[in-house]
Chain A
Amino acid sequence: MIITEKKDRKHLLEKIKEYNSFFLLGCSECASLCGTGGEPELVEMKELLESEGKKVTGTFVAKTGCQVLGTKVEIKKNFKSEADEAECILVMSCGAGTQSAVDIYKDKPVYPTNDSLFLGNMTRMQIFDERCSLCGECILEQTGGICPVTACPKGILNGPCGGTNEGKCEVSPDVDCAWTRIYNRLKAINRLDDMKEISKPKNWSAHKKPMTLNVREKKEEGKK
């Protein structure tokens, strides 16, 4: 899921000071789990804005904020007048959710209340770590299922660098050395030979921004 963190509230209020009325848009998926854009956070934001003398015209937790069409239908059906009345839409989900709102409200300012941090695995309730960088070309089959592109701060592909130290990373003693982890894992599954081959330089063009994918078109092509 997309891991988000609340922006500094003082900083946020400064950014939106020129507007007086807001519609708050959360998301029931990742942002709810992160505690940045679910029902309680929307209530909290409403109270904060009202304490600053602002008006909140309405609040809504979208089902999936990154689904542009679904979110548009949901808002238009249930909150059209509230959202239309607001001078500004505050989006309390991720950068993708914010840009869904930009698509829906072409003539209204849309502001994010959160910073989007990473694609995360939730290891326990509201504890997240980054395991995949969405690099466009998965190499997990070569590395015992642990991603060095993500887990190593240098993202290197041929074993540990000189900064590895008793299983920890030079960047911080709180970070495990990805390549020591990979080595231990490959050893455990009896596949150390996977590490002996020199990995070729990564094809970074597999993730050429901005990425798009049209599965429907691909399916059509498949039929032909």
Chain B
Amino acid sequence: MSFKEALNSGKFTVTAEAGPPKGTDIKKIVHECELLKGKVDAVNVTDNQSAVMRISSTSFCKIILDMGLEPILQMTCRDRNRIGLQSDLLGASILGIKNVLCMTGDHPNAGDHKEAKTVYDIESAQLLRVVDGLNNGKDMMGNDLQGATDFFQGAVVTPEANPIEPQLMKFEKKIDAGANFFQTQAIYDIDKFKEFMSHARKFPVKVLAGLVLLKSAGMANFMNKFVPGINVPAELIGELKEAGKEKALDAGIDIMARHIKQLKDENICDGVHIMAIGAEDKVPEIMERAGLL
């Protein structure tokens, strides 16, 4: 069953994330992706995440596609103008890549090439429209394509953005622009997430809750301080602290497994997007503890 079919069937859908490395040695990430085979419904491949230059998302999508995994191509507007974006989308399509996640992209200021010229010719909502156009056989200028794409396109949303109103307006714009599914920024407070979902459920879109694996109390504090839209509640930080340094990762896995179980059992959303950030080998264990395997 494809990712699209899984979501549309009502199955609680699970995606994971793979960040291609900087450099041509892909042994480690290929190994980690092997571990996900037969377990997750799809794997997001990040696009120069945090504006740090790495292997192209499209290239690595093709690698995991050939391994038998279903890739979700993350495509940001940071590095390519509208010609480059459309050309790369057509290129991804002929490689057999079916899913694309449209994002604006972290500013180069966050990354390792701070002197780069920023592009942002278009942004996430406009990119979703572009994908919709390509699916309908037209480029951005309305020119006919010789062969349309067949993408299942999605977008991101930050349920705990502050202020929330402009975020929700953008969420609706993305739906208008053709988003079929959303993967959210990391959430840790399920009750707050329920509030967001009661709004999101008004729209015909699928929502996968974003979950970032907590590896230590320090990491949680760091994210609270520096990552927009992430709020790890004090109780969870307490849990990690109590577990002690050696058991903190284990506690983080427990927290995520517990959250997944609740999201699924209470039918809060349509699935989860697991971001293990450097501990991708733990994804099967998280899924096992959540009762998904």
A and B interact: yes
Q: A residues within 8 Å of B by Cβ?
A: 153-167, 170-172, 179-180, 183, 192, 195-196, 198-202, 204
Known: A183-B165, A195-B166, A198-B173. A161 touches B109 (CB 8 A): no
B109 CB contact (under 8 Å) in A153, A195, A199: A153
Binary interface encoding of chain B residues 150-172 relative to chain A, with 1 for a CB under 8 A from any of its CBs, else 0: 00000010100111011101101
Contact A154 B118 (CB under 8 A): yes
Q: B residues within 8 Å of A by Cβ?
A: 78, 82, 103-104, 106-107, 109-110, 118, 120-126, 129, 140, 156, 158, 161-163, 165-167, 169-170, 172-173, 176-177, 185, 228-229
Contacts of A171 in B (CB 8 A): 107, 109
Contact A162 B156 (CB under 8 A): yes
What 7 A-B pairs have minimum CB-CB distances, sorted nearest first? A165-B228, A159-B170, A156-B123, A158-B125, A183-B166, A154-B120, A161-B104
A153 CB contact (under 8 Å) in B103, B107, B177: B107
Contact B228 A198 (CB under 8 A): no
Q: Min CB distance, A154 to chain B, in Å?
A: 4
Nearest A residue (CB) for B177: A198
Nearest B residue (CB) for A179: B166
Contacts of B172 in A (CB 8 A): 196
Nearest A residue (CB) for B128: A198
Contacts of B107 in A (CB 8 A): 153-154, 163, 170-171
Contact B229 A162 (CB under 8 A): yes
Contact B109 A162 (CB under 8 A): no
Nearest A residue (CB) for B170: A159
CA A154 to CA B122, docked complex, whole Å: 9
Q: Min CB distance, B114 to chain A, in Å?
A: 10
Nearest A residue (CB) for B230: A165
Contacts of B177 in A (CB 8 A): 198
Contact A161 B121 (CB under 8 A): no
B123 CB contact (under 8 Å) in A158, A170, A204: A158
Q: Min CB distance, B138 to chain A, in Å?
A: 14
Given contacts A162-B104, A162-B228, 7 further A-B contacts (CB under 8 A): A154-B118, A161-B124, A163-B107, A165-B229, A170-B109, A183-B166, A199-B126
B163 CB contact (under 8 Å) in A161, A162, A183, A199: A183
Contact B118 A153 (CB under 8 A): yes
Residue from A154, A166, A196, A204 having most chain B Cβ neighbours under 10 A = A154
Contacts of B78 in A (CB 8 A): 154
A158 CB contact (under 8 Å) in B109, B158, B173, B228: B173
